[in-house]
Amino acid sequence: MSRKALFFDIDGTLFSESLRQVPQSAVLALKKTREKGNLVFINTGRTWCQTQAIRRETESDGLLCGCGTYVRLGEKVLYDRRIPAERTEILRQNIERFGLDVVLEGVDSCYFREQGPFTETMKRIRSVLEDSNACSPFGWAEADGKVSKFCVAAAENSDREAFFETIRDFDVIDRGGGFYECVPRQHSKASAIRIIMEYFGIGEKDVWVFGDSMNDLSMFRFSRNSVLMGKHDAGLEPYATFTTRTVEEDGIEWALRHLDLI
């Protein structure tokens, strides 16, 4: 039988946002499918600095980070795309101009305004990033040449539509509640999968993806084998080939067992 390549989102897929951990059933399931000869990859919107905990909790063959902007196998970096410094400066100007809150996400650290976030959404994100040592002690002026992607949160007086007109070189993913993930065009979880397929010589029929939210849409559209978590965004349903239980209900282990991947 041919070797499979399995790609897992983190939040809501491998990682339980209510339990704040990866269930042991998922940890063991990933270990078992690797023992069977399959390859396991983490495919996440998080940048590298935000994956410290998942790297400790799970074993994998590589991480695909920042929605396709950074691909790493062990110590080997296969791909690393940063937003040019001059583009980052223009982004800062327009973010200020149109009244949005922001986190600039880099490989090594994440950056907020010097005065700190002003929306409740970004305050929560900063707290999480500080707890995981992924938040830079320096302000966003230090981010030039270090940023892979960014997220913005809209406040009551924000002009989000005018801002989006200034970032046509980015894909904007609506995460709900006035929160938007912004990724350089031609980069996605699917583009990262293509890098892995070429590197390992994996065919399309042997690619399996696992996810729950709309930033998984590109890989669900791409893959012939798309596994949807029990709790999920409805927008993924037309592309799913299998629906499993929630992460808290051991959904990863349940899916791998039913699909004969362990």
34 and 154 in a single domain? The answer is no
Of 184, 209, 244, the position where a domain reaches its end is 184
Tokens representing 207 are: 């690619």
Tokens representing 236 are: 């993924």
Element of type H or E holding 22: none
Residue 111, amino acid: Y
What confidence category does residue 25 fall into, taking pLDDT thresholds of 50, 70 and 90?
very high
116 and 237 in a single domain? The answer is no
247 and 172 in a single domain? The answer is no
pLDDT computed for residue 1 by the predictor: 60
pTM of the model: 0.94
What confidence category does residue 17 fall into, taking pLDDT thresholds of 50, 70 and 90?
confident
Tell me, what CATH number does 127's domain have?
Answer: 3.30.1240.10
179 and 91 in a single domain? The answer is yes
**Domain count across the chain:** 2
Of 158, 184, 210, the position where a domain reaches its end is 184
Domain extent for 140: 85-184
Of 121, 152, 184, the position where a domain reaches its end is 184
Tokens representing 88 are: 């980052």
Segment among 16-25, 77-86, 130-139, 229-238 with least mean pLDDT: 16-25
76 and 200 in a single domain? The answer is yes
Distance CA 248, CA 19 (A): 8
Tell me, what CATH number does 225's domain have?
Answer: 3.40.50.1000
